[in-house]
Amino acid sequence: MNPKANKFTPKTSQNSQSQAVETADEMTEELMRSHASLEQKVNQYVFDKVSLENTLNKLIRDNVSFRSDIEKLEKTVEFLLSSVNMIKARDLNAITTVGPIQDQRVAEFIRELENISHDARILGASIDGVNDDRNLAVHNVPGPTHAREPTNGHSAHSDAHLPVPKNKTNGNPAPSVGHGLQDSLLTDSEVETIDDDATTVTGSMSNNQAIVLQAKNDTPAAAATWIPHYIETLRPLHTAIAKLIPRMEMKGATLGTLNTIFPNAQLWSPGLFYAPPDTGISTLPNRCYYLIDADVEPFAPPAPGQHGAKLVPLFRPENPEDDHQDEGRYGVYSEDTPLFVRKKDASGTLMYYYYGNYSQTRWSDKLDYDRMIEQIPHTVLEYWAERLSTVKDRPEWLTHELLNHFWPMPKYEGKIGSDSGGSSAANGNHKAAEGDGKYSKKVAKALADYMKELELWEEEKRTKLRSSEMSKNFFMEAFHRADADLPPPMRFYLEYLECVDWRADYYNLLASNRTP
What single string gives the DSSP state of each residue in 461-514?
A: HHHHHHTT-S-HHHHHHHHHS-TT-SSPP---EEEEEEEEE--HHHHHHHHH--
Per-residue model confidence as pLDDT tens digits over 296-327? 999 999 999 999 999 999 999 999 988 888 88
Per-residue model confidence as pLDDT tens digits over 415-469? 776 655 544 444 556 555 566 677 788 888 888 888 988 888 888 877 777 767 8
- In terms of phi and psi (left: phi > 0; alpha: psi -120 to 50; beta: otherwise), the region of 254 is beta
Q: What is the pLDDT of residue 516?
A: 62
Q: In the chain, helix, strand, coil percent, each to 5?
A: 45, 10, 40
Residues in the chain, total = 516
Q: What is the pLDDT of residue 123?
A: 56
Q: What is the pLDDT of residue 247?
A: 79
Q: What is the pLDDT of residue 219?
A: 37
Averaged pLDDT for residues 29-57: 77
272-290 in b/e form (b: 16+ CB < 10 A) is bbbbeeeeeebebebbbbb
Averaged pLDDT for residues 34-55: 76
Q: What is the CA radius of gyration of the chain?
A: 38
Rounded CA gap, 505 and 513, in Å? 12
Q: What is the pLDDT of residue 66?
A: 72
Per-residue model confidence as pLDDT tens digits over 105-136? 555 566 666 666 656 655 555 554 444 443 43
Helices and strands counted in the chain (H then E): 15, 10
Instruction: Examine the pLDDT at 177 and tell me if it is beyond 60.
Output: no
Cα–Cα nearest to 109, from 130, 85, 139, 73: 85
Which residues have a Cβ under 8 Å from the Cβ of 97 and sit 6 or more positions away? 190, 193
Report how far apart, in Å, the C-alpha atoms of 447 and of each of 172, 416, 420 are.
53, 9, 19
Residue 142: CB atoms within 10 Å = 7
Cα–Cα nearest to 260, from 2, 7, 513: 513
What single string gives the DSSP state of each residue in 296-342?
A: G-TTS-SSTT--EEEEESS--SS-HHHHH--HHHH--TTSSEEEEEE
Report how far apart, in Å, the C-alpha atoms of 277 and of each of 262, 265, 316 are.
12, 10, 20
Q: Which of 60-64, 198-202, 303-307, 497-501 has the lowest mean pLDDT?
A: 198-202
Q: What is the pLDDT of residue 25?
A: 77
Cα–Cα nearest to 166, from 141, 153, 149, 183: 149
Instruction: Examine the pLDDT at 67 and tell me if it is beyond 60.
Output: yes
Averaged pLDDT for residues 83-106: 52
Cα–Cα nearest to 273, from 321, 335, 333, 356: 333
Share of the chain above pLDDT 90, in %: 30
Q: Peptide bond preceding 277: is omega within 30 degrees of 0, i.e. cis?
A: no
Q: Peptide bond preceding 272: is omega within 30 degrees of 0, i.e. cis?
A: no
Averaged pLDDT for residues 486-493: 95
Rounded CA gap, 457 and 465, in Å? 13
Residue 459: CB atoms within 10 Å = 10
Strand partners, 267: 273
**pTM attached to this predicted model:** 0.55
Instruction: Examine the pLDDT at 360 and tell me if it is beyond 60.
Output: yes
Average pLDDT, the chain: 72
Instruction: Examine the pLDDT at 209 and tell me if it is beyond 80.
Output: no
189: amino acid identity, one letter = S
Rounded CA gap, 364 and 362, in Å? 6
Cα–Cα nearest to 269, from 301, 292, 299: 292
Per-residue model confidence as pLDDT tens digits over 349-359? 788 999 999 99
Task: Identify the sign of the CA torsion 47, 48, 50, 51.
Answer: positive
Q: Which contiguous run of DSSP H or E holds residue 139?
A: helix 133-140
Rounded CA gap, 364 and 270, in Å? 14
Read off φ and ψ for residue 514, nearest 5 degrees.
-115, 75
374: amino acid identity, one letter = E
Q: What is the pLDDT of residue 30?
A: 81
